[in-house]
Structure 1
Amino acid sequence: MKRTLITLALSLAAATPAFADMALATSKNCMACHAVDKKLVGPSYKEVGAKYAGQKDAVDKLAAKIIKGGKGVWGEVAMPANPQVNEAEAKKLAAWILTHK
């Protein structure tokens, strides 16, 4: 029983950052246009993660796009600027997005 509880606690601890980042993405309205595994208005996070996989500056590049917005990389629909997202939050979101491939 004790071993089961420890395993469960470790599993929950490992999963918490993913839920916390999903919560941040939801609270900053990212999920209105993006989903983890399917295209909505913008690309899925899996598509973004795959596109930027292996790029050393990917977190900084995506964080800047999150804050400033962008156009043309994924089609004609522009991603609006998100001034409600600060730099630390943008980097946290970008790092989380890059875990999806």
Structure 2
Amino acid sequence: MNKEFELKKYRDLVLATLDYYIVHLAFNNEMKDEFIRLKIQTTHYEIDIFESYFKRIKKLVEKGFIKTESQFHELKNYVDYLIQNNNSDKVLIQRINEILLRFESKN
């Protein structure tokens, strides 16, 4: 791989890591907004390393059923994450648990 590609890859990983810290740690809003503004100004795009993950989760919940062990583990990990972080969306947690239970009862 060429050096420019590796540098861009490294930059993207660093920015994604910083994004994660901003979302999951207690940064003040001014610092968060300034970082996001500078990141977009510098890179000319936004990075969301979890976007495809959350899209997959959303599709599975909307469908209301899962077919594979992989989907089961993704939903199980997501509901565990929601519970550990005291997510207030009890309806979503209940719906995911129902999907998981239906899958377990079939297998």
Bigger Rg, structure 1 or 2: 2
> Same fold per TM (> 0.5)?
no
- Give the alignment's TM-score, normalised by structure 2: 0.32
Higher-helix-fraction structure: 2
- Give the alignment's TM-score, normalised by structure 1: 0.33
Which of structures 1 and 2 has the larger relative contact order (alpha carbons within 8 angstroms, sep 6+)? 1
